[in-house]
Chains A and B, each alone.
Chain A
Amino acid sequence: MNRIPKTRKEMPITALSIPTAGSMGKTGSWRTFRPEVNYSKCTRCTLCWIYCPDVAITRQEDDSPKIDYEYCKGCGICANECPVKAITMCREEKE
């Protein structure tokens, strides 16, 4: 079921959307500031993970955050909420 119908016969009766990661494309390109994690400072409180609106932070095995730069929109909530300031926002440079 998880594919786009090609012909009219394959079309569902009503409009039906398919769950897809990146339905708006790679939203990481919206970003101006990029969050960088200092893992030696991180206390594994996982607050950045629960507060991330873009689902761009995954909790690793040891509860430390891993940021997905393909989808992070660079809002800066993680850096603002980190109790030990282990996340800093750095300006994106042109490659």
Chain B
Amino acid sequence: MVTVKELSKEEYLLEGHAACAGCGPAISIRVLFKALGNKVFLVVPACCTTVIQGPYPYTSFNVPLLNILFESTAAAASGIVAALRQRNIKDITVVGWAGDGGTVDIGIQALSGAAERETDFIYICYDNEAYGNTGMQRSGATPFGAWTTTTPSGKRERKKDMPLIMAAHRIPYVATACPSYPIDFVNKLRKAKEIKGTKYIHILAPCPTGWRYDTSKTVELGRLAVQTGLWALYEIENGKFKLNAPSDRLIDKAKRKSVKEYFALQGRFRSLTEKDIERIQKWVDDDWENYRRLAACSASDATPYGKI
């Protein structure tokens, strides 16, 4: 068990980068470097992280990083893994770091292929629930009722459940995290680093510009998303589903906060009606019933996704 004070003081994301004030993904990148150090090779498609680096010929990332096309994060990472193996370099962790558009919509075929080939790398999707760097367009990860520039009256479809899609590939490690719980994220990254095969981590990273809230509330909103049950922190290790603290206490419905608290802080949910909120609350409860079943199933011998 690590604590915040045990994390390294070394910074590999340099100050003066181009992220907006109060950027959730920027916190996640810092925590990533705290967990893995500089022995990483990042593969980044078109997403906010390309912008955070700053204008050419400068970059604020003090680690090897490859900027690649939108759809080919996992394919390029597979190439890097093969090249490192050919040169017999063993201490470098290859990390695919993509936004939700580059994972859920555009990059899903390359990611699915890499997972099927059992490429040895960590894929991290930081999810700000829209295409952030082009000015907030709707993506497959945008939740029901959220405003984006292409859904001005709120999206009418539900969000894809990407972590469970990846779990269905029967990869050895799938986890969800949130920058509001940095220690949980560090533990998951260090665990993923030790496992051989494709590892997938999905982070909910609040975005003040797109979600329309005050910049100081980024961490608070991430925490609220977890406490209301809209975002569950769990890991699926070799098919065994396990809820992590603090989500493991929330199986009981009475312990979860009402989703209204989360929506009230954000401008993007302003068009939600009472009826919509009731529907979303019901979906959340259904999801948690599903999590409860998965956890109970994993506690016994039968695993929900079969033995790997």
Contacts and interface: CB of A to CB of B under 8 A. Distances in A.
Contacts of B54: 17, 20, 23-24
Interface string B160-195: 000000000000000000010010000000000000
A53 interface: yes
A46 interface: yes
Given A17-B58, A23-B53, A24-B55, A53 B18 contact: no
Interface in B176-232: 179, 182, 208, 214-220
Interface stretch (B59-67, B120-128, B242-250): B59-67
Contacts of A24: 16-18, 54-55, 60
A50 B7 contact: yes
A18 B220 CA distance: 34
Contacts of A5: 57
Interface in B45-79: 53-62
Contacts of A15: 56-57
Interface stretch (B19-27, B84-92, B142-150, B299-307): B19-27
Nearest to A73: B21
Interface residues of B, number: 42
A21 B18 contact: no
Interface of B: 4-5, 7, 9, 11, 13-24, 26-27, 30-31, 34, 53-62, 179, 182, 208, 214-220
In the A-B complex, the 5 residue pairs with the smallest Cβ-Cβ separation, listed nearest first, are A23-B54, A76-B216, A22-B16, A75-B22, A17-B59
Interface of A: 4-5, 15-27, 30-31, 45-47, 49-56, 58-59, 63, 68, 70-71, 73-77, 79-81, 89
7 contacts: A17-B54, A23-B54, A50-B7, A54-B21, A70-B15, A73-B22, A89-B216
